[in-house]
Amino acid sequence: MASSLAILLLLMRLSGAIAAVSPNYISRSTEQQIIATVAPAADVGQSAQPFLTSPSGLYAAYLRRAVDSSAGGPGADACYVQVQHGDVGGGGGSVWESECTLVGGADACDLAFSPVGLELFAGGHSLWDTGIDAEPGTLSLDDGGDMRIVSKEGVTMRKNIAFGHVMGK
């Protein structure tokens, strides 16, 4: 009985290790896989959810939500994707940012890995995407601060998400 329990515990530990996702890449397992969510901000300022780090840890990708007090009222919130150089805590400088997309103050921002690459949602509506024209399989962040989307067929595409055009293959 004790040996069966020990084997069960060992299998649980191994299955947990196998299921662990590397922070360096995300494999798309569903049609629209939510990879980061930022809730409506309670205070003026910024909130962020990291979703990828480079293998060396020098770069991190975030879904960010900024609240602009100067705009006043609803619609002053904006969500965007940002890659930063520096600590994963967000203390480094920005390498690039996607378009800032205005969202309602009560809506959460969701970032999905979908058939068009990265896709930003708020209030259940698609607001922005990378426009990938392949079936994305994995998303990664390399040690140069570039995001790489690899199709399920193995075609590698580097996207400069800030400007929406392919940087190389």
pTM: 0.74
Domain assignment of residue 80, given as a range: 23-168
d(CA 39, CA 83): 20
> Is 11 domain-assigned?
no
- Evaluate whether residue 106 is within a structural domain: yes
Please determine, for residue 20, whether its predicted confidence score (pLDDT) is greater than 50.
Answer: no
* pLDDT at residue 50, rounded to an integer: 94
In a domain, 14, yes or no: no
CB 145 within 8 A of CB 63: no
For the chain, the domain total comes to: 1
Over 50: is that where the pLDDT of 142 sits?
A: yes
Listed in sequence order, the residues at least 6 apart from 4 whose beta carbon sits closer than 8 Å to its beta carbon are none
Indicate which CATH number applies to the domain containing 80.
2.90.10
User: Does any domain span residue 74?
Assistant: yes
pLDDT in tens, 76-90: 788 999 999 875 555
Alpha carbons 118 and 136: distance in angstroms, whole number = 9
* pLDDT of 10 over the 90 cut: no
